[in-house]
Amino acid sequence: METASITNGSAISMGNEVTFEEMYRNYFAPLCYFAQKYIDREDAEDVVNNLFLKLWRQKEFFENFQHAQSTLYVATRNSCLDFLKIAKRAEDRHIFVTKDVAQDKNFIEEMIQSEVWGEIYREIHNLPVQCSKVISLSFVEGLKNDQIAKELDISIQTVKNQKSIGLKLLKQKLSKSGFLLLCMYM
């Protein structure tokens, strides 16, 4: 299968299956994290999935990578706002409906933070299976070692070992690209 590169400067068609899969793979996690600024995790995943489904059905066309990226974030934000309106969450709606993307000084920071967390989540999922499960349960779900051991039916020592191995591997993977340096400034 030929691999598309969404960052090569050319136009991007969401009707192209390879391009669509690459966009989905690269942006699902960061957009979900971004959407969680507005709505809870499960709803955020639904909103982002629906957004990609809509883009696929409409065979959306973008001029270039930057256009696609900004459109995805703005569309995610707007989808979250629509979700809040439909759900009649008045207090949340009041906070987020009044925000204007162009005037919101935190928008760029939130977008960057979403990208950073997205990269971290991608690397967690690239870890060996057991390490990935332990790291996810510990740092994403917030479970303690004994809870993880019970959930995965392994010993607490195995949890500690897998967590140590996973963190070491993450540090190695993320430090290769200077990614940890960026994280220190967030």
Percent of the chain with pLDDT over 90: 37
Residues 111 and 135 in one domain: no
Start-to-end CA distance of the chain, whole Å, equals: 38
Task: Dump pLDDT digits (tens) for 67-117.
Answer: 778 888 999 999 998 888 887 656 654 555 555 555 566 777 778 778 888
Residues 97 and 156 in one domain: no
Residues 93 and 146 in one domain: no
Per the domain annotation, does 121 fall within a domain?
no
Q: DSSP letter at 8?
A: S
Per the domain annotation, does 122 fall within a domain?
no
Residues 111 and 134 in one domain: no
Which residues span the domain enclosing 160? 127-186
Number of compact structural domains in the chain: 2
- Whether the Cβ atoms of residue 161 and residue 150 lie closer than 8 Å to each other: no
**CA-to-CA separations, 98 to 21, 101, 103, 105, in angstroms, rounded:** 33, 10, 10, 13
Helix or strand or coil: residue 144? coil
Measuring CA to CA, which residue among 177, 141, 157, 96 is closest to residue 149? 157
The mean of the pLDDT values for the chain is 80
The confidence score (pLDDT) of residue 145 equals: 94
Burial class (CB in 10 A: 0-12, 13-18, 19+), 85: middle
The confidence score (pLDDT) of residue 97 equals: 53
